[in-house]
Amino acid sequence: MLDSMTPQEADTEYKNTLRSLAEEYGGYSFIPSDLWREASEVTRAWAVVAKYEGTVSVELLGRYMVPLSIITRIMPSVTLDNTRKVARADQYKAFEQWAREHDREQFTTDQIVEASGFGYQTTLKFIDGNPYFHKIKKGLYECRDYHADREQAKKSK
């Protein structure tokens, strides 16, 4: 395969593939549907690669519903973008870890928003009712490690 393909080149390749399959099977109506679909999927995959200027990830092609068999077939010719988007749940866990590390320290809302990496409203929604944050007054919160508090209470009994 080529290093990259424009949509026009992919379309020409698609037509040539179908033409050769038609010759092999004795006409267009006799081409097995799975081979026809495969030729279409390869063309669509190359169109996605062209749209993103040659740098795509397996995840991106998967979002365009390109089958894994086609992805592995064209991937040697494509530059891979291996950056992985961090899941929101992982961001929440990291933020809670940050709160545990700053046990009994007080922060303003703006400082918490900066530390969390979330938007202002998302941060407020997250810390509202979260056991790691105790509201002292409007705009001021204290980080609390409630696991450490529980352990301390158990030891003092």
Q: Indicate the burial class of 58 (C-beta count within 10 angstroms; 0-12, 13-18, 19 or more).
A: middle
pLDDT-derived band of residue 2, with 50, 70 and 90 as boundaries? very low
Residues 116 and 61 in one domain: no
Give me the number of domains the chain comprises.
2
The answer to whether residues 65 and 101 belong to one domain is: no
pLDDT tens profile 29-75:
999 999 988 888 888 888 888 888 777 777 788 888 888 888 878 77
Segment 87-102 mean pLDDT: 86
Share of the chain above pLDDT 70, in %: 90
Any domain includes 24: yes
Taking a C-beta distance cutoff of 8 angstroms, is the pair 143, 99 a contact? yes
Mean pLDDT along residues 12-36: 90
- Whether 147 has a pLDDT exceeding 50, the answer reads yes
DSSP codes joined into one string, 30-84: GS-HHHHHHHHHHHHHHHHHHHTTTEE-HHHHHHTT--HHHHHHHGGGSEE----
Among 29, 55, 80, residue at a domain's last position:
80
Which range marks the domain in which residue 150 is found? 88-156
